[in-house]
Amino acid sequence: DSCSVVPTRPGGPLVRLLSKLRAMSVTELLVLTRSNDSGTAEEARKAVIGLALGDPSAMNTVISEIDSGSAADRLLATMLEQPVDQLIRASDDILALLHSSSDGVRASVIDSFGSGWVVASVARDLAQKAIGDRSPQVRSAAARFLQRQSQG
């Protein structure tokens, strides 16, 4: 039996298969996260985050990529969508992004505090510190988090 159906855009399924086989490096996957084909980019983001959560060296590379601003928003969003237990294990790396030069990256990290991957008292302290950030976007994220925390 053979399958004669070929997807019109095979990039996503190919990336998924190659990443399961560990046939692509972190660097190659990061390049594909910037693909114009949304299916390819999405599968590459999922794969590279999966690798990063299990490999400190890969995590360092991904954190650097996010910090550099290269497709940072979607890459960080994919990371922050992972199960809380995995985020807890990577919390030091993710919290390092609070020092990113990107206002959007810092705000996204703060916005994610409510999911529970950061101990509540630590999240509160970090959000209170972020109220003094130079960026209105970061200050707003911190204020939203602190307001939600005070209500719940």
Q: What is the pLDDT of residues 12-47, one digit of tens each?
A: 778 888 888 788 999 999 999 988 888 899 999 999
Tell me which residue has tokens 């985050």: 49
d(CA 144, CA 138): 10
Q: Tokens at residue 16, please?
A: 């998924």
Q: What is the pTM of this model?
A: 0.86
Mean pLDDT of 80-90: 96
Instruction: State the sign of the Cα–Cα–Cα–Cα dihedral 78, 18, 28, 54.
Output: positive
Whether 124 contacts 152, CB under 8 Å: no
State the amino acid at position 71 in one-letter form.
A
pLDDT at 55 over 60: yes
